[in-house]
Structure 1
Amino acid sequence: MSGRWYGPGVVAVVVLATAGACGTPSERRDGVTAQLTRFERALDAGQRQRLCAALAPSTREELEQSAKRRCAQAIGEQSLPAAGAVRRVDVYGEQARVVLDHDTVFLAHFPTGWKVTAAGCRPRPQRPYQCEIKAG
């Protein structure tokens, strides 16, 4: 089925998309892209604290619980790919998916801005994405 994707919080995407979001579609897309750029720069520079700050609270919590380490240590142990260029940005209300050359990243909008809910995600036909970092 072309065009269908499954990712973290897909039910929330449907619910939140109908609830609306602040800003125009262009402003929301720009916010997503800006946050993704900060996340990728922190990843490239090995800035673990900035990577952790970019994560959604539940994603950070899951990472720490799974690794039994603080986020800054745990995130350095993840196999996040060098993402490459942005191929597509989809914003659905308060949720977003960014497809890159070598990664797919999911984000959600919080009062403090866009946060990464899942990263290091690979699509799987007819199944949810497989992600290195995600909420539980």
Structure 2
Amino acid sequence: GLAGGYQTVVGGAGYVGDANVVLGGSVYDSAALAASQVQYAADAQGLYQDPNPHIIRRPNPTGVQTYTQNVRVQFLQPPPVPPPGPLIIKEVRPPQPPLPPPLRLRQVAPPLPPPPPLVLRERPPV
């Protein structure tokens, strides 16, 4: 039936795969039951969204109500900064590039000058 604008369905027992469902002592066809159920839209949190809600506004019998709230404000200070330690500056040099391959020079020696002519002499006769 309808209660508060919502359709209520009485839970019953039925077997999985059974085409008929027993509700309140009567047997109903599951296809007809699924067609009569109303689906309501829900938001990301799972709350149902009513397309036309009933808004009830009543005047407060005591008049305007003032709320009092005790608020304690505490201003926190950060801990003191420790004194600076000794200042150490280190020069970090970039790594040296790899050595170039050895330079190989190949020179051909100039040809030797031709030797002077060889002169062989005999001793004069005595």
TM-score bracket relative to the smaller structure:
under 0.3
Which structure features the higher share of strand residues? 1
TM-score, normalised to structure 2, is: 0.19
TM-score, normalised to structure 1, is: 0.18
Which structure features the higher share of helix residues? 1
Which protein shows a greater Rg? 2
Higher RCO, Cα 8 Å, sep 6+: 1
